[in-house]
Structure 1
Amino acid sequence: MMAFSTPAPPGVIDALVTAGRRFRIEWMRVPMDETGKRRYPAGMKWMFVLFALLAGAGMPLQAGINLRLRHALGEPVVAALVSFAVGTVCLLAYVVAARVELPPAGVAAGVPWWAWTGGALGAFFVFATIVLAGQLGAATTMAWLLAGQFLAALILDHFGLVSFALREVTWPRVAGVALIIAGAVLVNKY
């Protein structure tokens, strides 16, 4: 088993903060339309695809790291708590280092109640991956999580729920999700 006992090489943290600032600056330069949405040039879309791939690749890595925390700390919920605490510190450090402007306190009053539940869903997700990764392994856990995500995403799109634009369910989209579920079944079986 590989151990990560050494600190990050000098300059890595600075490079990450600089990259984050640059991405944020480029994002802020994109003009907004009359609805308040940013309209990105077609050439910029690859950055978001790459970002999604990197975030997705991080999920099984996070599950394994959190599983190691669980083995060390004994309880999945304690490992999830530590994971969220570290994540909170990282986000806070980024906000300070990148000088992110926080909205006025009054903005919170206009936020719908359900918009505050994202953290609870995130906590459930991290807790579930800690429990499942130890029982199912990385590939099977991620396959079933992905299948669940696609099923939920199809429903959210179809009904335009929780801030998503309405995108009708079509047979090709259903077939795509069915293939993902079939893939999860195969990963689970073999």
Structure 2
Amino acid sequence: MAPTNESQPNVAELTEVKVLSTPAASIRSIKPKRLSVLDNIAFCAVLCVIAGVATASQSAINSKMGQYSGKGLSSTLVFSTGAIASAIFWLIQVRGRPPANLTLMLSKAPWWSWFGGVLGATFVTIIILTIPKLGAGTTSGLIVCAKLIFSCIIDHFRLFGIPQRKYTLLRGVATCTLVASVAVIAKF
């Protein structure tokens, strides 16, 4: 179980029952817990669409930067600006007060969780190298296809601590359809 921030409510519980320390101990106050906007599935779906648009745009933008700065420097610039944006988001999230037990929390992270940045750099570098040759549509289609198939494998085998979601026949048909769609995009 991940460490929790005591100042944030547990969204898994919808109500909090508090016994008041008064002579009438039977008096209880029930107040609803705050629900996170991320509990709304439709809102999360909209965020995913925005992420898709951002990734497609990022790919084309990174490729263009590579033409002007060189491929290696382009990746460095992308991650430098991304690191600054991520740091700003993190400071907003923790309200400028990093958790006191941050070092302890980080020491408990699995060894493989430290490679997300390396995988991100690999992704950006591949985008910079392939978009000028394959185009944004084919490159993105191949990446989305590989990403979706491997994501289903991650779900099925519970890799990286993800809850299991079996790779069913319908999921297999959907991924085959996706592969066919990418083939059409690449061909035409």
TM-score scaled to structure 2, two decimals? 0.76
Going from structure 1 to structure 2, the CA distance change for 1:131 and 1:91 (only over 3 Å counts) comes to same
Shift of 1:101: 4.5
Residue aligning to 2:16? none
Shift of 1:108: 1.3
TM-superposition CA deviations, 1:114-157 (whole Å, max 9, x none): 11111111110111111111111111111000110011111101
Q: Which structure features the higher share of helix residues?
A: 1
Shift of 1:30: 6.4
Structure 1 unaligned runs (5+)?
A: 1-27, 34-38
**CA distance, structure 2, for counterparts of residue 100 and residue 64 of structure 1:** 34
| Paired positions, count | 157
**CA distance, structure 2, for counterparts of residue 113 and residue 42 of structure 1:** 28
Amino acid at match of 1:126: V
- Do structure 1's residue 88 and structure 2's residue 68 form an aligned pair? no
- Do structure 1's residue 105 and structure 2's residue 99 form an aligned pair? no
Does the 8 A contact of 1:157 with 1:164 survive in 2?
A: yes
Residue aligning to 1:67? 63
Residues 149-160 of structure 1 mapped to structure 2, 5 A cutoff? 149-160=147-158
Equivalent residue of 1:162, what SS? Answer: helix
Q: Which of 42, 51, 55 does residue 51 from structure 2 map onto?
A: 55
Q: Which of 178, 183, 186 does residue 185 from structure 1 map onto?
A: 183
Residue aligning to 2:42? 46
Q: Which structure features the higher share of strand residues?
A: 2
Residue aligning to 1:32? 12
Does the 8 A contact of 1:70 with 1:79 survive in 2?
A: yes
Shift of 1:43: 7.5
Equivalent residue of 1:32, what SS? Answer: coil
Does the 8 A contact of 2:91 with 2:97 survive in 1?
A: no
Indicate the percent of aligned positions where both proteins have the same amino acid. Answer: 24
Residue aligning to 1:133? 131
Which ranges of 4 or more aligned residues in structure 1 deviate by more than 6 Å? Answer: 39-43
Going from structure 1 to structure 2, the CA distance change for 1:146 and 1:85 (only over 3 Å counts) comes to same
TM-superposition CA deviations, 1:152-173 (whole Å, max 9, x none): 1111011000121111111000
Shift of 1:40: 7.0
Amino acid at match of 1:68: K
Amino acid at match of 1:56: G
RMSD value, Cα: 2.2
Does the 8 A contact of 1:30 with 1:40 survive in 2?
A: no
Shift of 1:94: 2.7
Amino acid at match of 2:167: V
Higher RCO (C-alpha under 8 Å, 6+ residues apart): 1
Residue aligning to 2:24? none
- Do structure 1's residue 78 and structure 2's residue 76 form an aligned pair? no
TM-score scaled to structure 1, two decimals? 0.76
